[in-house]
Amino acid sequence: MFNLQEKPDPEFKYNDNTLKPVQTLVASFGGGMQTRIQIVVDDHCYLALIKHPGGAYQPMTHYNKMMVKAIKKLPPDPDKSLEPKG
């Protein structure tokens, strides 16, 4: 089962680019293996990328219920800052 991290990962590599996610979800399995989902803003849209153990990040085509819950927490406008003002 995926769990939404309190804070997203600081950054990750995708296609030789360094990206900063707005949300990170993690599922842990036996043997210390993890599947990670990074949600980023790309071209004014949200993009979800998944990384299975030993693989590279790939765009997601299927969303589980935790992913939908995470998406609902994002602002409707991806260009709006997720950081609190102050």
pLDDT of residue 32: 76
Give pLDDT tens digits along the chain (86 positions).
889 999 999 999 999 999 999 999 998 887 778 899 999 999 999 999 999 888 899 999 999 888 899 889 898 888 876 554 44
pTM of structure: 0.85
Tally DSSP H helices, then E strands, for the chain: 1, 7
The residue ranges of every structural domain in the chain are 3-72
Residue recorded with tokens 């004014």:
44
Burial of 74 (0-12, 13-18, 19+ CB in 10 A): middle
